[in-house]
Amino acid sequence: MLLRRFGLTGTIFTFFFIAQEAVISQLSFPAGGFSLFLILTLIWAALSTPDVAAAVGFGAGILLDLSPSTNGPLGHWTLILVLMSYAIAFFSYGDENMRGNPLSIVLMVTLAQAIALASYLVTGFLLGVTATSFSQTLITIAGNALWTLVVTPLLLPVVVWLHDLTFDSRMRI
């Protein structure tokens, strides 16, 4: 059972990672665009228990760190996503008002995505990764948040369906 869940989750995340790298990264969106993979990870975490969310965040972070477009050290995104996934799952787990309301999930994912990006930039600065100007950073984070706000409602039903398929659960959102 565990192996099946692990295999399915890995396949889904790998597929979205390839889609992100091969398709989304090649399109130029205004104000920086969005990360499909990051949105998937955060929605998945919002639907999972905190320990599963942390494990998924770890795996997703490793994949993001291996992305050729990442300029930080390996483990950087891993650390951010472990903490962010755990946090989002911790706040939403057991709260049906939060989980049962798609708007809450959308807003939570958007907020988490903005915090994740900001944390990545701040820790990157501490680790010595070259950062852009403050204004550009703000534009990127705000642009990403806006795009996430647009994309998450579209992606949410798909991710919920995939999550149900993987964990044999039936969520009502």
Partner 1 sequence: MRNGGENRGRLLLVILIVSSLFLITLDLRGVNVLNGLRSGTQSALSPFQRAGNVVLTPVKNFVNDITHLGRTRNQIEDLRKQNQKLREQLISRKNQDGEIKQLKSILDLAGTARFKIVSAKVIAQGSSLAFTRAITIDAGRSSGIKKNMTVISGNGLVGVVKEVFTNSAIVMLATDPAFKVGVRIAGSQQIGILSGLGSSTANLQLLDNQTAIKVGDILLARGSVNAQPFVPGVPVGRVTSVSNAAGAVTQSATVKYLASFGSLGVVSVVVKAPKADPRDVLVPVKPVPTPIPTVTVFVTPSPSTSPSAPSN
**Which positions lie near partner 1, rule CB under 8 A?**
18, 21-23, 26-28, 49-51, 54-55, 57-58, 61, 65-68, 73-76, 78-79, 82-83, 86, 127
Whose Cβ is closer to partner 1: residue 82's or residue 155's? 82
Whose Cβ is closer to partner 1: residue 27's or residue 103's? 27
Least distance between partner 1 and beta carbon 79 (Å) = 4
Least distance between partner 1 and beta carbon 75 (Å) = 3
Tokens of 85: 């996934």
Q: How far apart, in Å, are the Cα atoms of 31 and each of 81, 140, 164? A: 23, 6, 33
The per-residue b/e assignment along 82-110, b for 16 or more CB within 10 angstroms, e otherwise, is bbbbbbbbeebbeeeebbeeeebbbebbb
Whose Cβ is closer to partner 1: residue 58's or residue 91's? 58
Give every CB contact of residue 123 below 8 A, 6+ residues apart in sequence: 76, 79, 80
Whose Cβ is closer to partner 1: residue 1's or residue 27's? 27
The per-residue b/e assignment along 116-140, b for 16 or more CB within 10 angstroms, e otherwise, is bbeebbebbeeeeeeeeeeeebeeb
Interatomic CA distance for residues 103 and 88, integer angstroms: 15
Whose Cβ is closer to partner 1: residue 72's or residue 106's? 72
Least distance between partner 1 and beta carbon 173 (Å) = 24
Least distance between partner 1 and beta carbon 154 (Å) = 18
Least distance between partner 1 and beta carbon 132 (Å) = 21
